Amino acid sequence: MTTPAPKGLRGVGNFIDDRFHLAKVGEKNLRKVFPNHWSFMLGEIAMYSFIILLLTGVFLTLWFNPSMQEITYEGSYERLNGVQMSEAYASTLHITFDVRGGLLMRQIHHWAALVFVAAIVAHMLRVFFTGAFRKPREINWSIGALLLVLSMTEGLFGYSLPDDLASGMGVRIFQGVLIAIPVIGTYISYFMFGGAFPGEDIIPRLYMLHILLIPGILLALIVAHIMILWFQKHTQYPGKGHTEKQVVGTPMFPAFAVKAGGFFFFTFAVIAGLSALVQVNPVHLFGPFTPTSITSGLQPDWYMGFMEGALRIFPNWFDIDVAGYSIPTGVLLPGLGSIGLLAIALLAWPWIEMWITGDRRHHNMADRPRNAPTRTGVGVAASTVYGLLWLAGSNDILSETFSINLYATTWFFRIAIFVGPVIAFIVTKRICLGLQRRDLETLEHGYESGRIEQLSSGEFIEVHRPTSEDSVHVLEAKQPVARVSAAEVDENGVEAPGNRKAMGRLRRALAHWYTKDDIPFEGAEPHREPHAVPETVAVEERSGSETPEEPVKTP
Amino acid sequence: MTDNTSNHDNTAGDGARERILGTPSGTEGALTEVGPGDHRGHSGPYPAAETHTHTEEEQRKGERVAALWFTLAFLAGIGFLVSYFLFPPGPDGEPAIAAPAIGKLSNLALGGTLAVALFAIGAGMTVWTRRVMPHYEVSSPYDEMPSPAAEKRSFSDFFMRGGEESGITKRPLMRRTLLLSMLPLGLAPILLLRDLGPLPRNELHKTPWQRGQRMVVEGSEREILASDLEEGGMITALPSVPEGEHLTLDEQAQSVILLIKMNESEFGERMTGERLNWTHDGIVAYSKICTHVGCPAALYEQTTHRILCPCHQSTFDATNAAEVVFGPANRPLPQLPLTVDGEGYLVADGEFSSAVGPTFWDAERDV
Amino acid sequence: MKWITARRRHPLAGYVVVTLALALLGLGYAVVAPSAERAQAQSDAAETESAEVDLANGRELFEQSCMSCHGRDGRGTASGPSLYGVGAAAVDFQVSTGRMPSTNPDQQMPRGEAVYNQEQIDDLAAYVQQAFGGGPQVPSVPGTEPQRSEFDSEAAYEQALEEYEAAFEEYISGGGDTEAGQKLYMTNCAHCHGWSGNGGALTGGRWAPSIHEASPRQIYEAMITGPGAMPVFNDQTITPESKQDLIAYVKNLQYEPNPGGVFALNRVGQVAEGLISWTIGLSLIVACAIWITAKQRAHD
């Protein structure tokens, strides 16, 4: 029935198996199932971008010379002939104008970096909003958060290497933030830079970090990330046959491997296409770095934009001067605090949510964002803060483009950073609840068909079409918002002592805030197609506190 | 799942179905299904019910399309190789791509062919999976994560016994000295980093400016006469160094100044006494390095006399000892005392009023 | 200096200083001012194209377009500053860039289409110079490209254009010291006008304009006259040769093709790149992902 494996292949297989005993494990892994959805491929974009970064990065190191030795340029790029610059900058010009394909590789490297971090962020947003970070996947989420922060650092250091004006200013700001640290700041700065700014050591040191240490850690973490994913299997969206116990999708062999392989080529193609058509980071135009020059409209790459924005809008009102010693909080809080807060909030979120809801169950089914309105609201509010800071990082461009007073933009962001997330949270949560109500109605009464019929009694009715079986699966998958923490008494009816302490009260308040708004679907009777066999729906006892929306009167 | 007749797109009479966002879309292309009744011919690796094969004709069409993509990829790949040789170095070895206009063509040719080749491979592979390979909907169990209680107990028991037997718990002297032995070695890496750089000492309070040192316009060798500047004028200047010497970037970062000349009547209330003596005929010199995080704050508006830093928009009032009027900086720009020498040249008249550069712990202390 | 310090706050102090300064300026001007022959020699170069200026025409133009804001006597009004001592270069700059005559004296004027042709501007500039004195002269640097409407015949226009282009080319390529040009631009200009000359934001809703359309002469004039909030960079602080290096640097950078791609994102830089990486880069890849994972079902 099956075609026997060709001799050559069998030979290779035997050779490997003789040494690793892989037949069983191999088959099991090739049978691994991956659920199908475009949003499950965002992480793959990041991984493939990373591979592209490694490939192009290795190419660039063949010519790049990370030295801050000052030379007079006398290369083939005529416009800058006779200009004083560092070896690093000169070798970047060499890659651009003397090495065929060098400019392309440089541009691919830069675009891939921009897409890499963008894909990580998009991937994290997907995981967050679908609750895919919940137990048992919290650790993988935290690894992802570390990957994000490391990638941003990696990008910042890479951006600093060519020693052009923009990159040098990035290093300058980096040094300005480091030196602001109380007591030890000047020491950190002097050790890092080998003396005063800019010195002659920082680029070789950043180069080592950029091509060796950080990529090494990134690679290790990515491997861990994927191994954990492989082991725990991917979450899936609700659908027919999709349960907490059973995953449905494409098997690794033969289909998923080819799909994923094809996707690598797509990712590379888009980045190569961008690099062919759109100029990125034209360092040869910026000119070499000198600590005395500056340009307007100076920005970091997009992923450092939020930090730049924080530095711009944070006022100097809280700076501390004691006995002639300064603690410039206006530098420290936005410069180190913003990225620290981002890292800590991301790392800790799964445990914070678990603590609030008390939900310690395993989750393999992804939430639809609307079904977790508070989490979705929190996510949108946090994204709003991030987005506003990011925008604030380009407030001079906004000011110039739209002819708004520069200081007015600063003030706008100073206020919006507080008001924006609150509005975003409320609006998002309301939208989620509205969508839940519509889902419930769809589930129970089907779709409006637009067809009006007159009954014999003379009454006009609109005929509702039944909900498709697929949709019923999706809609029914809504779980009641976790109320585990609502069980405030233990099995003996005794209130847990912790509940009465301050933390306990806070936790209860948060749990109430987190779970109070929800449209329960329990007991909803799907309006199915007549021929579909209704599956038994576990009708749990309705929670007495809340009743579902009054059903719309329909025939 | 296997009931082929329940395909609603065929049975539902009312055409396209409304779909709620987030729910699966309808059928894209008809697939024949190997139903439970006719899996006699099924030889795939997965159960017939989970394998939806395409008809032979569909597969043949798919194969042709995929082959077309792969051929395109091959041609584009050849194009990439050819593109490399399209822009060879000139007769004197000068690379053709050194001219930006040629470089652009080279980049476009190389990048364009590469992108097409990669995309075509991706597209071909996608067509392969979607139109030749069966569509799989294989189900597989999620693994139970916590191990059964018995296994856990057994492990814990085993581990504790081993620990006990090894003596690590029973023999505190050995345990503690082991930990002790790690301590100095743990500190060693930190110690080894000590020589990364010198200690700052009071270097951050010093700049290359010497009393009586003349100034030059940065970018030229011209020393600046007091009479060179006119009201409303501004220029970036550095200390003048003897012929043949030049300032390192470190020294430039410490010593760069903005020379601004305004009408003395515009000086604000802070420009009194000593501060006023540091000016000459309305000419005032401030450090160009912003006290926030160190960008050159150079954006001087002669109408408002504001000095704006283009990085984070700290704004300093040039008429008023560079006091901060807006933005995140907290410390005024240090002022460099200046005067004129016998020949009318502007010269420094001492050190800056405070430490130059981004604010640090003891920036405002006199050292 | 103590007596000055003590009297600095006197209500009249400001006026005294201004008067003194003006007197000093006048005196200085009288001493330094070029003698008749030298002035003639200097402006010769600038006026080779239009052999002689028509002061009467200049006066007429002044009365038509300038007087309402700058006053009949040129001493300025509430809506326009005094023209005393501004000089011909300032007039040439403001009028040839279309900023003057302004339609809204309360706002910073953007660059626009010049209302007058070069001949008329020369007349006006000469009139202002003659009537109100002072200020820098129009430098003999290539100005705006000749317009077809200024010539009677196609041939004359083409010849003028050719001459202009030759002069432009000669001026730009004459800037021999890229290092000096770059240093001067990056340390004194780029903080407002940007590394690419795109301009940038200032305080109070003002902005530093793009300098892409500015002719070498206009850039030169802007430096020596300090229009708007821009500081003055006179010929003493930045010599004419250095100015040529600087202008050559700016123009060479501007005209250089972008090797990186057909789309250079207007040389805006990182903000635009970030936007593209999300909107085009990531979206296109996601579109591919959607193709790969699109539903294929035989059942429902």
Largest CA distance in chain A: 97
More confident: C22 or C281: C281
Residue reference for tokens 């100073």: A414
Residue C178 lies in a domain: no
**C125 min Cα distance to partner chain A (Å):** 31
**B105 min Cα distance to partner chain A (Å):** 9
Task: List all residues 6 or more positions away from B285 whose beta carbon is below 8 Å from its beta carbon.
Answer: B215, B237, B257, B258, B259, B260, B278, B335, B336, B337, B338, B348
pLDDT per residue over C137-160, tens digit each? 888 888 888 888 878 888 999 999
Percent of chain C exceeding pLDDT 90 equals 31
Candidates A95, A93, A111, A90; CA nearest to A45 is: A111
- Show which of residues 242-281 on chain B sit within 8 Å of chain A, judged by CB atoms: 249-250, 252-254, 256
Predicted confidence (pLDDT) at residue C52 exceeds the cutoff of 90: no
Q: Which of C226, C237, C259 comes nearest B104 by C-beta?
A: C259
Mean pLDDT, residues A400-425: 93
Confidence label for A299 from pLDDT (cuts 50, 70 and 90): confident
**pLDDT score at B7:** 38
What letter would DSSP give residue C146?
P
- Show which of residues 34-53 on chain B sit within 8 Å of chain A, judged by CB atoms: 43, 45-46
Residue C57 lies in a domain: yes
Confirm or reject contact between C234 and chain B (CB < 8 A). yes
- Least confidently predicted of A133-147, A218-232, A496-510: A496-510
Vertex A72: Cα angle to A70 and A73 (nearest 5)? 115
Interface partners of chain A (CB pairs < 8 Å, 3 or more) are B, C
Nearest CA in chain B to A106: B107
Cα–Cα distances in Å, from A191 out to A209, A452, C147?
Answer: 15, 80, 61
| CA–CA dist A353, B257 (Å, integer) | 53
Helical spans, DSSP H, in C55-116: 55-61, 67-70, 87-96
| CA–CA dist B190, C97 (Å, integer) | 62
Residue C267 lies in a domain: yes
Confirm or reject contact between A498 and chain B (CB < 8 A). no
Interface partners of chain B (CB pairs < 8 Å, 3 or more) are A, C
Residues of B in contact with A407 (CB under 8 A): 313, 326
Interface test with A, best of B87, B138, B236, B288 (most A CBs within 10 A): B138
**pLDDT score at C32:** 52
pLDDT per residue over C76-85, tens digit each? 888 888 888 8
Reported ipTM: the value is 0.89
Mean pLDDT, residues C206-215: 91
- R_g of chain B, CA atoms, integer Å: 39
Predicted confidence (pLDDT) at residue C202 exceeds the cutoff of 80: yes
Confirm or reject contact between C277 and chain A (CB < 8 A). yes
Token pair belonging to C85? 């001592």
Nearest CA in chain A to C287: A38
pLDDT in tens, chain B (367 residues): 334 433 333 333 343 444 455 444 444 444 555 444 455 567 889 999 899 999 999 999 999 999 999 999 999 999 999 999 999 888 888 889 999 999 999 999 999 999 999 999 999 999 999 999 999 999 999 988 889 999 999 999 999 999 999 998 889 999 999 999 999 998 998 899 999 999 998 889 999 999 999 999 998 888 999 999 999 999 999 999 998 888 999 999 999 999 999 999 999 988 888 899 999 999 999 999 999 999 999 899 999 999 999 999 999 999 999 999 999 999 999 999 999 999 999 999 999 999 999 999 988 887 6
**pLDDT score at A86:** 95
Residues of C in contact with A44 (CB under 8 A): 289
Average pLDDT across chain A, whole number:
88
**C294 min Cα distance to partner chain A (Å):** 7
**A535 min Cα distance to partner chain C (Å):** 15
Predicted confidence (pLDDT) at residue C112 exceeds the cutoff of 90: no
Token pair belonging to A508? 């209860």
Task: List all residues 6 or more positions away from A181 whose beta carbon is below 8 Å from its beta carbon.
Answer: A188, A332, A336, B361
Helical spans, DSSP H, in C189-277: 190-193, 216-225, 240-255, 270-276
Q: Are B214 and B347 in contact (CB under 8 A)?
A: yes
C283 is in which domain, residue-wise? 262-300
Predicted confidence (pLDDT) at residue C49 exceeds the cutoff of 50: no
Of C138, C167, C197, the residue that ends a domain is C138
**A499 min Cα distance to partner chain B (Å):** 28
- Least confidently predicted of A51-65, B55-69, B77-91, C38-52: C38-52
Cα–Cα distances in Å, from B298 out to A286, B164, B302, C178, C202?
Answer: 17, 70, 12, 22, 12
Mean pLDDT, residues A517-545: 57
**pLDDT score at A554:** 40
**pLDDT score at A552:** 40
CB contact under 8 A, B22 and A474: yes
More confident: B55 or A549: B55
Q: Are A467 and A447 in contact (CB under 8 A)?
A: yes
Predicted confidence (pLDDT) at residue A496 exceeds the cutoff of 70: no
**pLDDT score at A534:** 42
pLDDT per residue over A98-149, tens digit each? 999 999 999 999 999 999 999 999 999 999 999 999 989 999 999 999 999 9
Of C88, C120, C138, the residue that ends a domain is C138
CATH number at residue C65: 1.10.760.10
Predicted confidence (pLDDT) at residue C3 exceeds the cutoff of 70: no
More confident: C34 or C285: C285
- Show which of residues 50-109 on chain B sit within 8 Å of chain A, judged by CB atoms: 84, 87, 94-95, 97-99, 103, 106-108
Q: Which of B108, B130, B222 comes nearest C262 by C-beta?
A: B108
Vertex C235: Cα angle to C231 and C241 (nearest 5)? 120
| CA–CA dist A375, A131 (Å, integer) | 8
Residue C154 lies in a domain: no
**C70 min Cα distance to partner chain A (Å):** 26
Interface test with C, best of B28, B301, B305, B308 (most C CBs within 10 A): B301
pLDDT per residue over A84-108, tens digit each? 999 999 999 999 999 999 999 999 9
**pLDDT score at A472:** 85
Mean pLDDT, residues C25-42: 49
CB contact under 8 A, B129 and A191: no
Q: How many CB pairs under 8 A join A and B?
A: 340
Confirm or reject contact between A517 and chain B (CB < 8 A). no
**pLDDT score at C134:** 77
CB contact under 8 A, B235 and C238: yes
Mean pLDDT, residues C86-95: 89
Interface test with A, best of C271, C286, C295 (most A CBs within 10 A): C271
Predicted confidence (pLDDT) at residue C16 exceeds the cutoff of 80: no
Q: Which of B7, B264, B315 comes nearest C299 by C-beta?
A: B7
Q: How many domains does chain C have?
A: 2
Residues of C in contact with B104 (CB under 8 A): 257-262
Residue C107 lies in a domain: yes
**A73 min Cα distance to partner chain B (Å):** 14
Helix H, strand E, coil C: the string for B9-63 is HHHCCCCCCCCCCCCCCCCCCCCCCCCHHHHHHCCCCCCHHHEECCCHHHHHHHH
- Show which of residues 194-213 on chain B sit within 8 Å of chain A, judged by CB atoms: 194, 196-200, 203-204
**pLDDT score at B39:** 53
Residue C164 lies in a domain: no
Task: List all residues 6 or more positions away from B167 whose beta carbon is below 8 Å from its beta carbon.
Answer: B174
Residue C297 lies in a domain: yes
Task: List all residues 6 or more positions away from C204 whose beta carbon is below 8 Å from its beta carbon.
Answer: A405, A406, A407, B304
Q: Angle at which helices A138-160 and A102-129 pack, to 10 degrees?
A: 150
End-to-end alpha carbon distance in chain C? 95
Predicted confidence (pLDDT) at residue A173 exceeds the cutoff of 80: yes
Confidence label for A360 from pLDDT (cuts 50, 70 and 90): confident
Residues of A in contact with C208 (CB under 8 A): 296
Interface test with B, best of A240, A326, A338 (most B CBs within 10 A): A326
Is the backbone of residue C93 left (phi > 0), alpha (psi -120 to 50) or beta?
Answer: alpha
CB contact under 8 A, A196 and B292: no
Confirm or reject contact between A472 and chain C (CB < 8 A). no
Residue C204 lies in a domain: no
Average pLDDT across chain C, whole number:
82
**A410 min Cα distance to partner chain C (Å):** 11
Confirm or reject contact between A198 and chain B (CB < 8 A). yes
Residues of A in contact with C204 (CB under 8 A): 405-407
- Show which of residues 78-107 on chain A sit within 8 Å of chain B, judged by CB atoms: 78, 96-98, 100-101, 103-104, 107
| CA–CA dist B342, B347 (Å, integer) | 10
Helix H, strand E, coil C: the string for chain B is CCCHHHCHHHHCCCCCCCCCCCCCCCCCCCCCCCCHHHHHHCCCCCCHHHEECCCHHHHHHHHHHHHHHHHHHHHHHHHHHHHHHHCCCCCCCCCHHHCHHHHHHHHHHHHHHHHHHHHHHHHHHHHHHHHHCCEECEEEECCCCCCCHHHHHHHHHHHHHHHHHHCCCCCHHHHHHHHHHHHHHHHHHHHHHHHHCCCCCCHHHCCCCCCCCEEEECCCCCECEHHHCCCCEEEEEEECCCCCCCCCHHHHHHHCEEEEECCHHHCCCCCCHHHHHCCECCEEEEECECCCCCCECCEECCCCCEEECCCCCCEEECCCCCEEEECCCCCCCCEECEEECCCCEEEECCCCCCCCCCCCCCCCCCC
**pLDDT score at A291:** 93
Phi, psi for B264 (deg, rounded to 5):
-60, -25
The winner for highest mean pLDDT among A348-352, A439-443, C88-92, C115-119 is: A348-352
End-to-end alpha carbon distance in chain A? 56
Of C138, C163, C190, the residue that ends a domain is C138
| CA–CA dist A264, C213 (Å, integer) | 44
Token pair belonging to A353? 């949510």
pTM of the model: 0.88
- Least confidently predicted of A417-431, A452-466, A517-531, C51-65: A517-531
Q: How many CB pairs under 8 A join B and C?
A: 173
pLDDT per residue over A467-477, tens digit each? 888 888 888 88
Predicted confidence (pLDDT) at residue C281 exceeds the cutoff of 60: yes
Predicted confidence (pLDDT) at residue A499 exceeds the cutoff of 80: no
- Show which of residues 142-181 on chain C sit within 8 Å of chain A, judged by CB atoms: 177-179
**A101 min Cα distance to partner chain C (Å):** 11
Candidates A107, A105, A113, A66; CA nearest to A86 is: A66
